[in-house]
Structure 1
Amino acid sequence: MTGIRVALAQPAISADARVNGKTVRSLMRKAAAGRARLVHFPEGALSGYAKEQIADWSQVDWGVVRGELERVMALAAELRLWVVLGSAHPLTPPHRPHNSLYVISDAGELVDRYDKRFCSNTEINHFYSPGFDPVVFDVDGYRFGCAICVEINFPQLFSQYERLGVECLLLSAYPVDSIFELKARAYAAINCYWVSMSLPAQTVDLMPSGLITPTGTYAAQLSGNSGLAITTLDRDDPALTVPFQHARPWRATAMKGEIYRTRAVDDPRSRDHTML
């Protein structure tokens, strides 16, 4: 088999990290049973998400969150499974936490952490400290990148990941409107990469979680209020020849601009925009 099997989760998120940790580990086991190499979780899946489950950080027992994270890491090593897990990441008081995605390797190691760069107005003023850097990592020869929720409104982040060679963008979110889904599909098609969209069960009325192909169509969607979808990313799939072998290289060439500059014309009918 070519390609890599990935799983995307749609769990119900609670304010209790113990409950969330148990749910995460249950879904990890299902992902491993389905031969997935990576499982992707929503924003705030472990700690709970501010504005929804969390009204104030004083409600959060960070020791419990850390303990649950360590259990997830240990299980990742046991299952030989990569895990991308949404959670608040505490900083030194009085600094607010980051809104993060933990990248855990199949050796159970925390190899990186993506901190949400573009927080919403409420998030930045009341709940979170911002991050500033993209995160990319490779699994079995496939390159992944990370983004979180409201960052869907900042196209430069998605084009940056295309330039960094990402083949699958892991988009964890807690969406508040249905237009979110259309934006995700557009970015997948424009940048010619997969978008894995992992959302909580609480937002299924807006859209289900799903894996969007480089053509902007779905390879898999979840049904119901919770669960897991497993599918294969295969860059050699003949159906993806156009986006991967033609569109993406051509757009990279076009963005450099030289192919247009060398064909500039010196013609009064070009310079004069009022000429009939």
Structure 2
Amino acid sequence: MTGIRTAIARPTITADPAANGKKVRSLMRKAAAGRARLVQFPEGMLSGYAKAQIADWADVDWRLVRAELEEIMALAGELGVWVVLGSAHPLTPPNRPHNSLYVISDTGALVDRYDKRYCSHTEITHFYSPGFEPVVFDVDGYRFGTLICIEVNFPQLFAQYERLGVECLLLSTYGADDSFETKAAAHAAINCYWVAVSVPALPDEPTPAGLITPAGLYTTQAAGPAELTFATIDRQDPALSTALRHARPWRATAAKGDLYRAHAVTDPRSTNRTAL
């Protein structure tokens, strides 16, 4: 098999970090049994998400969140699987937590953490402290990047990851509006990389969990009661040759602008835009 096999989670999230941690570990085992090298979870998976499960950070047992995280890290090492896990990350009081994605390696090490940069009005006003840096990491020769929820509305973040050489953007969210899927697919097609969407199982959730190809099409989706879907990211896939070998490098060259400046003309009929 060429490429890298991933698992994308669509679980239920509760206000109990112990229950959430147990669910994470259960799905990690299923992902490993399905030969996945990486498993991605939604926004707020471990701690619970503000507004939905959390009304006040004082209600959160942070020691329990950390204990569950340490168990998840240990299991990642045992299973040899990478984990991208949504959770609030506590800061020193009185600072509010970050809204984060923990990046856990297949050796059980916490190798990085993405902190949501573009928080919603309610998030930034009442619940979270913002982050400011992109996060990229490599697994089996494939480069991944991370974004969270409302950041789907900011094309410059997706373009930044394209410049950083990302081949799959892991987009984790708690909930999505009716246009979320359209926007995620557009970013995949414009930047010519895969976009993996992890979203919890909610009663009226319009966006499916799954993997969108560099052509802007879902290659797999979690349907019905499924809590996990598997997908392979393969840069050798002949169906994606145009997007990966031609469109992406051409667009990168075009974006720099030198190609067009080299063909600039000096012509009064060009400078006079009211000329007939």
Give the TM-score taking structure 2 as reference length.
0.98
Give the 5 Å matches for 1:148-227.
Answer: 148-202=148-202, 205-227=205-227
Q: Structure 1 residues 189 and 267, CA, compared in 2 at 3 Å: closer, same or farther? A: same
Contact 1:201 1:226 in 2 (8 A): no
Further displaced range: 143-152 or 225-234: 225-234
Structure 2 distance, partners of 1:225, 1:93, is 40
Q: Amino acid of the residue matched to residue 51 of structure 1? A: K
Query: How much does 1:35 deviate?
Result: 0.2
> Is 1:20 aligned with 2:54?
no
CA distance in 2: counterparts of 1:208 and 1:13, whole angstroms: 16
Counterpart in 2 of 1:99? Answer: 99
Q: Name 1:63's counterpart in structure 2.
A: 63
2:89 counterpart residue number: 89
Rounded Cα–Cα distance in structure 1 between residues aligned with 2:87 and 2:204? 20
Shift of 1:176: 3.7
Deviating more after overlay: 222-231 vs 51-60 = 222-231
Aligned to 1:30: 30
CA distance in 1, matches of 2:259, 2:203: 45
Contact 2:175 2:205 in 1 (8 A): no
5+ residue gaps, structure 2: none
Q: Look up the equivalent residue of 1:5 and give its one-letter code.
A: R
**Partner of residue 275, structure 1:** 275
Once the two structures are superposed, what CA deviation does each residue of 1:125-163 show, in whole Å capped at 9, x if it has no partner?
A: 100000000000000000000000011111110000000
Q: Which runs of 4+ in 1 moved over 3 A?
A: none
Greater mean deviation of Cα atoms: 198-207 or 264-273: 198-207
Counterpart residue number, 2:250: 250
Identity %: 71
Matched, 1:147 2:140: no
Asked if 1:126 is matched to 2:132, the reply is: no
Amino acid in structure 1 at the alignment position of 2:262: T
The TM-score, its normalising length taken from structure 1, stands at 0.98
Q: Displacement of 1:205 after TM fit?
A: 3.0
Moved more, 224-233 or 13-22: 224-233
Q: Distance in 2 between matches of 1:125 and 1:248?
A: 38
Amino acid at match of 1:119: C
Gaps of 5+ in 1: none
Deviations 1:180-216 (A, max 9, x none): 1110000000000000000010165312111000000
Q: 2-side partners of 1:204 and 1:137: how far apart?
A: 33
8 Å Cα contact 1:174/1:203 also seen in 2: no
Flag the 1:36–1:204 CA change in 2: closer, same or farther, 3 A. Answer: farther
CA RMSD of aligned residues (A): 0.9
Bigger drift between 123-132 and 264-273 goes to 264-273
Aligned residue pairs total 276
CA distance in 2, matches of 1:28, 1:60: 24
Q: Could you say what secondary structure the match of 2:102 adopts?
A: strand
Are the equivalent residues in 2 in contact too, given 1:6–1:39 (CA < 8 A)? yes
